[in-house]
Structure 1
Amino acid sequence: MTTHQNLSSPAAKPAVAQRPRKPLFTPARIGIYAFLISVSAFFLLPLYVMLITSLKTTDEVRQAMLFGWPAIPQFGNWVEAWSTACISIACEGIQGGFWNSVRIVVPATLISVLLGALNGYALSFWRNKWGDLLFGIILLGAFVPFQIMIFPLVTWFRMGGFYNTYWAIVLTHCIFGMPVLTILFRNYYVAVPQELFKAARIDGGGFWRIFFQLMLPMATPMLIVAVILQVTGIWNDFMFGLIFAGKDNYPMTVQLNNLVNTTLGERRYNIDMAATILTSLVPLAVYFFSGRWFVRGIAAGAVKG
C-alpha cells in the first residue's frame, strides 16, 4: 500500500524533458532573411523610383537626384497623365486606353476561361489514345512561340474581314490563352473520382448539367488561378494590342508607349512615370489582393494533378 502511494505521488512521476529553445537568430535564418530582403529591395527599387519621380516637378527631375524625395508631392502629374497628357496631336491622356483595356480584358478572360474549363473537362474523361494525342498537341501548343503565329493570324483575320478590329484582339487573346488553361483544368479534373461522375449520370445529369452544376463549382480554386493569369497577361500585353487591335482599340500599354516615345515637345519623365504607374495599377491590385488565392489554387492543382 505504501509502495502504491509512493508511486502515485507527484514526486514519483518522471520529469518531462523540455526541448531546448531554438535561438532567435541563427546563421541560417539570418542568411535567409538577408536573401529575401535583398530580393525584395531589388524588385521594389524600380517601383520606388517610378513613384517618387511621378511626384516631382520637372525641375526636380532635371536635378538628377534619382532617389531623392520631392519637396512637395505633385499629385497633379497623375491627373495630367490620365486626362490631358499629349499623345501625338491628341491631348486626352491615357484614359481612353484604360477603358479599351477593360473592354478587351473582360470578354477575353471570360471566354477563354470558360472554354479552357470545358476543354479540360472533356479531355479528363476522354482517356484513350486519341485523347492523349489531342492533349499532347495542346501541350505542344503551350510551348510554341507566339511570334511565329502572328503572320498567319494577320493573314486569316484579313481574309475574314475583321483585322484591326475589337473582336480580332479579343479572339487573339482567347486563342493564345487556350493551351495553358486547358492543361490547368485537365490536370485538375483528371483526379476527380470516376464514381462521382457516374453517380451524376445515374441521377439524370447530362454532359452540360454535370459540367455547370458539379464540375465547374468544384474547380473554384483553379478558376481563380485562370482568371488571375488571364487578367494580368492580357492587361500587360503590348504586341498583340499593337498588331491586332487597331487604332480605335489600342489598350493602355500601347497608349503608354506612344506617350513615352513621343517626339513632340520636351521629355517630361514625371508625367511618363505617373502614366506608367496608372497602367500597372490593375495588375498590382490583382497580385496584392488575390495572391493568396493564386497560391492556394496552384497548390490544389498540384496535389490533385
Structure 2
Amino acid sequence: MTTDTMTVSSGASRIEAGPRGTKPKSLTFSRVGIYAFLVLAALFFLMPLWVMVVTSLKAMPEIQLRHIFQWPQQITFEPWLKAWDTACTGRDCNGLKPGFLNSVKITVVGTIISIIIACLNGYALSFWRYKGANVLFGLLVFGAFVPYQVVIYPLIIGMRELGIFGTFPCIIIIHTIFGMPILTLLFRNFFAALPPELFKAARVDGAGFWQIFFQIMIPMAVPITIVAVILQVTGIWNDFLFGTVFAGRENMPMTVQLNNIVNTTTGVREYNVHMAATILTAAVPLAVYFISGKWFVRGIAAGAVKG
C-alpha cells in the first residue's frame, strides 16, 4: 500500500467516524425549531393527563371554582379511594375493584390462548405448506380489516346457540377470534424471515411438527411473542364494546364499570372521582408500554414487519 493510499484511507476513516461521536458546537435555527415543535407537541398531548391528575387530587368545592389547570390547594386522595372501593357502577357501589379483577382474568386468559393459537398458525403457515395454506392466510389477514360492528350480531346468535352467551368463556372466545388475524400475521412473518435451513436440518435429524415447534421455534420467537403480548394485553384491557355485549353482568371489565361511573345521572357529578377512575383504568396499559417499550421495538425489528 502506497503512502498516498494510506493517507486517503485514513482521511476517509476520519470523515466517517467524525459525525458519529461529535455533537454540534452550536444550535442551528432548524434544530431550535425541531426542539420547539417537540416540546409543544409533548405539552399538547400531556395536557389532558395533567388535567386528569390535578382534578383527581382536588375536593369538589375547589373543582367548582373552574381552575382546571391549577395544582390543588389541598391534596386529597379520597376520590381515588372512592373510585376504587365505593363508587356506584349502576345498582352496585363496589367501585372499580370487581371490574379490575374481571379485566385481569379476561386479559390473562385471552392473551395466553390467543398467542398460543396464533403462534401455531404462523409456524404451520411458514414451514408446513399444506394445500390451501395461502387461501387460509389470506382469509385470516382479511379478517383483520372487518369492522367489529358488522359481525357482532352473528356472533351473538352463535354464542346464544352454543349456550355460553354472557359468560366468561364467551368473552374469551370473542377476544381470541378478533386477535387471531393480526397475531397470526405477526408470527407468520417472523417465522418466514427465519433461515429455512434450520427447519430442514431439524427434519433431516428426524424431528417432527411438535418437536421443531417447542425446541426450535418457541425459543427463537421470544421477541415477536413480546410484541404479541403487548398488543393483545392493551387491546383486551382497553376493550369496551365486547365487554358490554358479551361479558355478562358477572364478568364486566373495568372499562364498562368506568363508563357506568362516569355516566351516573343521579346526584352531583363527582369529577374528581371520575378522573381518578379513568387514571386507574388506564394504569395497566400505560405501565405495559413504559416497562416493555424497548422490547416492543426490538420485536418489531426482529421480523414483525418482514415476510
Instruction: Write the letter of the residue equivalent to 1:164.
Output: G
Counterpart in 1 of 2:106? 104
The CA distance in 2 between the partners of 1:79 and 1:242, in whole Å, is 25
Q: Provide, for residues 127-179 of structure 1, a one-character-per-residue CA deviation record: whole Å limited to 9, x for no partner.
A: 47732222111111111111101001000000000001111111100000000
Unaligned runs of 5+ in 1: 1-13
Q: Could you tell me which of 136, 156, 164 is aligned with 2:158?
A: 156
Secondary structure of 1:227's partner?
Answer: helix
Say yes or no: does 1:77 pair with 2:79. yes
Say yes or no: does 1:142 pair with 2:128. no
Counterpart in 2 of 1:36? 38
> Which segment drifts farther, 250-259 or 123-132?
123-132
CA contact (8 A) 2:186 2:304 kept: no
Counterpart in 2 of 1:8? none
Question: Is the alpha carbon distance of 1:285 and 1:122 closer, same or farther for their aligned partners in structure 2, counting shifts above 3 Å?
Answer: same
Aligned residues: 291
> Which segment drifts farther, 233-242 or 124-133?
124-133
Question: Is the alpha carbon distance of 1:115 and 1:17 closer, same or farther for their aligned partners in structure 2, counting shifts above 3 Å?
Answer: closer
The CA distance in 1 between the partners of 2:111 and 2:105, in whole Å, is 10
Counterpart in 1 of 2:303? 301
User: Percent of counterpart pairs with the same letter?
Assistant: 59
TM-score of the aligned structures, taking structure 1 as reference length: 0.91
Question: Is the alpha carbon distance of 1:206 and 1:59 closer, same or farther for their aligned partners in structure 2, counting shifts above 3 Å?
Answer: same
Q: Provide, for residues 55-85 of structure 1, a one-character-per-residue CA deviation record: whole Å limited to 9, x for no partner.
A: 0000011010010110111112111110011
Q: Provide, for residues 197-219 of structure 1, a one-character-per-residue CA deviation record: whole Å limited to 9, x for no partner.
A: 12112223210111111101101
Instruction: Write the letter of the residue equivalent to 2:115.
Output: V
The CA distance in 1 between the partners of 2:257 and 2:89, in whole Å, is 8
Q: CA deviation at 1:27?
A: 2.2
Question: Is the alpha carbon distance of 1:200 and 1:91 closer, same or farther for their aligned partners in structure 2, counting shifts above 3 Å?
Answer: same
CA contact (8 A) 2:193 2:303 kept: no
Instruction: Write the letter of the residue equivalent to 2:212.
Output: I
Counterpart in 1 of 2:60? 58
Q: CA deviation at 1:88?
A: 2.4
The CA distance in 1 between the partners of 2:124 and 2:109, in whole Å, is 22
Counterpart in 2 of 1:120? 122
CA contact (8 A) 2:164 2:170 kept: yes
Instruction: Write the letter of the residue equivalent to 1:80.
Output: K
Unaligned runs of 5+ in 2: 1-10
Secondary structure of 1:93's partner?
Answer: coil
Question: Is the alpha carbon distance of 1:167 and 1:17 closer, same or farther for their aligned partners in structure 2, counting shifts above 3 Å?
Answer: closer
The CA distance in 1 between the partners of 2:26 and 2:219, in whole Å, is 44
The CA distance in 1 between the partners of 2:146 and 2:182, in whole Å, is 11
> Which segment drifts farther, 75-84 or 237-246?
75-84
Counterpart in 2 of 1:243? 245
CA RMSD, Structure 1 to Structure 2 (Å): 1.9
Counterpart in 2 of 1:47? 49
Secondary structure of 2:258's partner?
Answer: helix
CA contact (8 A) 1:88 1:264 kept: no
Rg bigger for which structure? Answer: 1
- Please show how residues 84-233 of structure 1 align to structure 2 within 5 Å: 84-127=86-129, 130-233=132-235
Question: Is the alpha carbon distance of 1:17 and 1:92 closer, same or farther for their aligned partners in structure 2, counting shifts above 3 Å?
Answer: closer
Secondary structure of 2:174's partner?
Answer: helix
